[in-house]
């Protein structure tokens, strides 16, 4: 199949050629002709399949007819995060280089002024996160009655982030006769129900069977003890020993772990950055740019921040934690092995992770091979750890014996410097925060001052317990809207 056979306009074909694409990916070959025929599309596609171009290219062709009017966008694309929205804008710039179309990006965390100017001029394409879009609408700056094409991208992510009521509201504000393109990597029942609500007689297109991982990814499980400082030691060992590691994303379930791990890696001399949904937009973009341009090698990230990001050619994924939901595993490892490349995905699995691990194997329909000894399951290990004072007398789970001894060697260094950070209520530092200088400046004094005083055990334990309640909250659940800026105005 060639791009020329799909019915795209000459201008679009020229831009595709300039991008260096030889042939359409499976989802592009299937979706593009249907979109051009004005059919509703339900696309089940993992990230990395060329999904974005499957809707951007035909939209550009369709937009060649007609003109934008002030405050009345002609097409609307909804994305769950600002990064994804910015990425789709990039796609419009790249593939729309031969068009004179106005693309407006309505995302939170940046000023309304520029966005308003673009809306006033008339936008052909509006790319928005739901919260900021509704904000503009409620301020009376936007009319959605001219929208011919509505794209709902990453629908399962929208669901996770609590955006579905917003999406339902937005769908009522655009004309009933619009064309709708609906994309999701996974198809939980709720998403199936919504697609029935939003789409009319859609063609269903599957780029890969739902919830499967790309065959180009080598997946491994690594047995680890339960304590984070021990997991960090194993992670360092894995990174140092990885074959052909060009760059890596390390996923954590909790915000505080993103922060701690990033600092720990920096302290151990790795080139690392952190990406987290609560960081301000400028820092997030700066970290991502640094990672994309290879200024940093390792990106420590939460699911919210990293979902769907197009970072071509990531060689390794490390799951520092077994993800909270099995679907997240598919998304996480989908950051590597993209567009036919090879990738490696390691997951640290502790004795307490039996349920999560088996849920993943069930979802992907594959057995994940163990790198080293299989972990010895102990369902109560997590609970015991939380009720243990400081983990000093914690029983280690199984793992590779060499890693265990490595862990013990690193244990002291980790705990002395990192434990105070782990107990900090500060969620994450800005991307340019210098962890090394903090350690150097505060060093042992800081560590000492944080050590519990004799006799202070009781009160200390109770405050630590309180903190843990917050710390243990999964990232996704911490803010149903994925950040303040995404809360619809009517709920603020």
Closest listed residue to residue 260, CA positions, set 298, 220, 300: 300
Whole-number Cα distances in Å, 254 to 228, 422, 441, 469: 12, 11, 27, 12
Q: Among the residues of 25-180, which ranges form H helices?
A: 26-36, 51-63, 82-95, 112-121, 130-138, 155-160, 164-173
Nearer to ligand AMP (CB atom), residue 52 or residue 259: 52
Kindly state whether residue 26 participates in binding ligand AMP, applying the rule CB under 6 A: no
Nearer to ligand AMP (CB atom), residue 340 or residue 430: 340
CA angle, 44 then 250 then 385, to 5°: 110
In the complex, least distance from residue 480 CB atom to ligand AMP, rounded to whole angstroms: 25
In the complex, least distance from residue 54 CB atom to ligand AMP, rounded to whole angstroms: 7
> What residues have CB less than 8 Å from 340, skipping those under 6 apart?
216
Kindly state the number of chain residues that form the binding site for ligand AMP, as judged by CB under 6 A. Answer: 15
Question: β-pairing, 203-206 with 272-275?
Answer: unpaired
Residue 340 gets the label, from left (phi > 0), alpha (psi -120 to 50) or beta, of: left
Nearer to ligand AMP (CB atom), residue 28 or residue 214: 28
DSSP string, 10-23: HHHHHHHHHHT--S
Joined tokens for residue 217? 């990814």
Nearer to ligand AMP (CB atom), residue 55 or residue 198: 55
In the complex, least distance from residue 215 CB atom to ligand AMP, rounded to whole angstroms: 16
DSSP string, 119-143: HHH--SEEEE-HHHHHHHHHTT---
Nearer to ligand AMP (CB atom), residue 47 or residue 302: 47
In the complex, least distance from residue 82 CB atom to ligand AMP, rounded to whole angstroms: 16
Q: Which residues pair with 152 in a beta bridge?
A: 78, 182
Binding mask 37-56 for ligand AMP (x = CB under 6 A): ----------xxxxxxx---
In the complex, least distance from residue 362 CB atom to ligand AMP, rounded to whole angstroms: 25
Kindly state whether residue 310 participates in binding ligand AMP, applying the rule CB under 6 A: yes
Tokens 């290990």 appear where?
381
Q: Would you tell me how many other CB atoms lie within 10 Å of the CB of residue 367?
A: 9
Kindly state whether residue 247 participates in binding ligand AMP, applying the rule CB under 6 A: no
Q: What distance, in Å, lies between the first and last C-alpha atoms of the chain?
A: 49
Binding mask 6-25 for ligand AMP (x = CB under 6 A): ---------------x--xx
Q: Which of 307, 338, 415, 479 is in the footprint of ligand AMP by CB under 6 A? A: 338
In the complex, least distance from residue 145 CB atom to ligand AMP, rounded to whole angstroms: 29
Nearer to ligand AMP (CB atom), residue 24 or residue 146: 24
Nearer to ligand AMP (CB atom), residue 45 or residue 235: 45
Nearer to ligand AMP (CB atom), residue 203 or residue 339: 339
Q: Would you tell me how many other CB atoms lie within 10 Å of the CB of residue 258?
A: 29
Q: Which of 286, 290, 339, 359 is in the footprint of ligand AMP by CB under 6 A? A: 339
Nearer to ligand AMP (CB atom), residue 216 or residue 447: 216
In the complex, least distance from residue 337 CB atom to ligand AMP, rounded to whole angstroms: 11
Binding mask 417-456 for ligand AMP (x = CB under 6 A): ----------------------------------------
| 150 φ/ψ angles, rounded to the nearest 5 degrees | -115, 125
Residues making contact with ligand AMP (CB under 6 A): 21, 24-25, 28, 47-53, 310, 312, 338-339
């Amino acid at each position: 199949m060639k791009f020329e056979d799909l019915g795209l306009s000459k201008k679009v074909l020229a831009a595709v050629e300039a991008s260096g694409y030889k042939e359409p990916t499976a989802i592009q070959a299937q979706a593009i002709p249907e979109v051009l025929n004005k059919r509703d599309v339900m696309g089940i596609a993992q990230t990395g399949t060329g999904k974005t171009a499957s809707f951007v290219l035909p939209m550009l062709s369709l937009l060649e007819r007609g003109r934008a009017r002030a405050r009345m966008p002609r097409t609307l694309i909804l994305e769950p995060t600002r990064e994804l929205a910015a990425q789709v804008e990039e796609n419009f710039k790249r593939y729309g280089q031969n068009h004179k179309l106005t693309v407006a990006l309505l995302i939170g965390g940046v000023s309304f002024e520029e966005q308003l100017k673009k809306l006033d001029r008339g936008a052909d394409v509006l790319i928005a996160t739901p919260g900021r879009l509704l904000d503009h609408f409620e301020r009376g700056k936007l009319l959605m009655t001219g929208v011919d094409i509505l794209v709902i991208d990453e629908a399962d992510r929208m669901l996770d982030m609590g955006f579905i009521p917003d999406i339902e509201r937005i769908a009522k504000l655009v004309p009933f006769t619009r064309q709708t393109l609906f994309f999701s990597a996974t198809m939980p029942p709720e998403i199936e129900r919504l697609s029935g609500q939003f789409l009319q007689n859609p063609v269903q297109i599957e780029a890969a069977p739902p919830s499967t991982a790309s065959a180009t990814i080598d997946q491994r499980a690594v047995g680890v003890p339960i304590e984070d400082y021990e997991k960090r030691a194993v992670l360092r060992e894995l990174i140092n020993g990885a074959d052909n590691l060009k760059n890596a994303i390390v996923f954590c379930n909790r915000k505080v772990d993103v922060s701690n791990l990033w600092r720990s890696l920096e302290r151990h001399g790795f080139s690392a950055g952190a990406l987290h949904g609560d960081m301000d937009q400028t820092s997030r973009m700066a970290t991502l740019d640094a990672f994309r341009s290879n200024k940093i090698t390792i990106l420590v990230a939460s699911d919210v921040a990293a979902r769907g990001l197009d970072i071509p050619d990531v060689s390794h994924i490390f799951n520092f934690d077994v993800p909270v939901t099995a679907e997240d595993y598919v998304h996480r490892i989908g950051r590597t092995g993209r567009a036919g490349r090879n990738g490696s995905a390691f997951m640290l699995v502790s004795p307490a992770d039996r349920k999560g691990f088996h849920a993943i194997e069930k979802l992907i329909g594959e057995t994940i091979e163990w790198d080293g000894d299989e972990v010895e399951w102990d369902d109560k290990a997590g609970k015991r750890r939380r009720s243990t004072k400081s983990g000093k007398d914690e029983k280690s789970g199984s793992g590779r014996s060499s890693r265990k001894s490595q862990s013990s060697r690193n244990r002291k260094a980790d705990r002395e410097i990192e434990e105070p950070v782990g107990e900090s209520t500060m969620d994450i530092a800005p991307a340019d925060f210098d962890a090394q200088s903090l350690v150097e400046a505060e060093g042992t004094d800081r560590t000492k001052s944080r050590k519990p005083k004799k006799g202070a055990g009781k009160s200390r334990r109770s405050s630590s317990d309180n903190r843990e309640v917050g710390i243990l909250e999964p990232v996704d659940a911490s803010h149903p809207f994925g950040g303040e800026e995404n809360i619809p105005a009517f709920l603020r």
